[in-house]
Chain A
Amino acid sequence: MAYSDKVLDHYENPRNVGSMDKDDSSVGTGMVGAPACGDVMRLQIKVSKDGVIEDAKFKTYGCGSAIASSSLVTEWVKGKTLEQAQQIKNSQIAEELALPPVKIHCSVLAEDAIRAAVEDYQSKQSEKDDSSSSAA
């Protein structure tokens, strides 16, 4: 199957590959997987105190479309607030990368990874609030 130019570009030059310290309280980590193809995706976001995503990193084991989808969303989420990032829809990812119908699930994976990363960050923040309030 032919990949679109945009998929190839992200696949050959993936943006923001890497990892961040998952124990850092300003970092949210999202891990998701697709049983159909065995793809595993990890997306990490670093969030500033005012709730803006300053940086994003990803690591994906999977097909070209899965790598491209995660590479693309690391670019998209940077500079966005958590609320804005959560509004990114898989259909936008699929459209931008011109994914064929059989690869739509790769964009679902990337959307779910953003959501999982934001939820991880938020749960870390509420734990922090809990421990500071119980300490007070």
Chain B
Amino acid sequence: MLEELGRNYFELFGIPKSFEIDNTQLTGRYHDLQRRFHPDKYANASDQERRLSMQVTAQINEALQTLRDPVRRGRYLLMLAGIEMNDETDTKMDPGFLMEQMELREALAAVDTTSNPLAKLEEIMTEVDGGREVRLQKLSQLFSAGDDKAHSEIRKLLRELQFLQKIYSEIEELEEVFI
């Protein structure tokens, strides 16, 4: 069972190791793999095989979550290239970027004092979304250029995207409150 898994998530799904992926192909391959390794198919197998099938299924799910999300996919590609993200120990970020994040968060915290909180939230969301789009496009350019020297720029963009995703989900939560 295990030898079919490949050396990384891309091999597991039988797709090219690349930042650009075909989502339809990814989902199709996911369903194939799920069918093949589903624990139900091993109901009459040995304990060991059953355990293995559960482990493999968990890994297939983890692989799907990783490959489907562009930020996680990018981080995974860097990891395969031997680049560390050091999320918890490297706190140095572009000061201008952090300033913007501070301002976005201040605006978010003051949203309930504005006359139309939902409109203000929408405005902040558009700004965050714009920043995300620009970075995702740049990421895809840098990855497709395939230049190892771009790794540090890619890492920087991915780190910034993590902040933007975090604030994006906070905006979504706030929207629930005001709707």
Contact = CB atoms under 8 A, between A and B. Distances in A.
Interface of A: 31-38, 40, 42, 59, 61, 104-105, 108-109, 112-113, 116
9 contacts: A31-B102, A33-B91, A33-B97, A35-B87, A35-B162, A40-B163, A104-B88, A108-B89, A112-B91
A40 B105 contact: yes
Contacts of A34: 87-88, 91
Q: Is the interface of A mostly helix, strand, loop or mixed?
A: mixed
Q: Is the interface of B mostly helix, strand, loop or mixed?
A: helix
Contact of A36 (B87, B102, B105): B87
Contacts of A36: 87-88, 162
A38 B166 contact: yes
In this complex, the member of A31, A35, A105 whose beta carbon has the largest number of chain B beta carbons within 10 angstroms is A35
Contacts of A37: 166
Nearest 6 interchain pairs by C-beta: A38-B166, A36-B87, A105-B88, A32-B91, A61-B105, A35-B162
Size category, B interface:
20 to 34
B118 interface: no
Contact of A105 (B89, B93, B98, B101): B89
Interface string B98-111: 11011001000100
